[in-house]
Amino acid sequence: MKKSHGPAFRREIKPLMECGICRGATVVSGVFHQLDCTACNASGWICAETGDALPLDVLVQQLSLRLRSTNAELSRARQPIGGAHEQYEQNNRRGAGGTNYTGD
Ligand SMILES: [Zn+2]
């Protein structure tokens, strides 16, 4: 097997910080239009340790890991806790049923 990328980096979440040039917007304003921010590879994020843009392959993986963990947190946060469970189910049925639930 031939590796194209030197030593394998471990799949762990690196500390990232918002790009100070585009302030996380991924683009900077040119004279007529917005340009991709080159300081962060148009990702809005830079390495918190070095302050440099991450290589695209690392960047994609880091963002993916973050997205996954954020999604996992969101779905955990949506889990009803204890007694709230039944009410949640009822609300769900009411909203999904044909009773014209408008939220009033
Ligand atoms: Zn930037």
Tens of pLDDT, residues 50-103? 999 999 999 999 999 999 999 999 999 998 766 555 555 555 555 555 555 566
How many whole angstroms from its chain centre is CA 102? 32
In this predicted model, what pLDDT tens digit does every residue of 5-53 receive, in sequence order?
556 556 788 899 999 999 999 999 988 999 999 999 999 999 999 999 9
Looking at residue 83, its pLDDT comes to 53
Confidence of residue 4 (pLDDT cuts 50, 70, 90): low
Phi, psi of 90 (to 5 degrees): -65, -45
Looking at residue 10, its pLDDT comes to 62
Quote the ligand 1 centre to 39 CA distance (angstroms): 5
Quote the ligand 1 centre to 22 CA distance (angstroms): 4
Residues contacting residue 55 through CB under 8 Å, at least 6 positions apart? 41
Looking at residue 103, its pLDDT comes to 64
28 within 8 A of 37, measured Cβ to Cβ: yes
R_g of the chain, CA atoms, integer Å = 22
Quote the ligand 1 centre to 30 CA distance (angstroms): 13
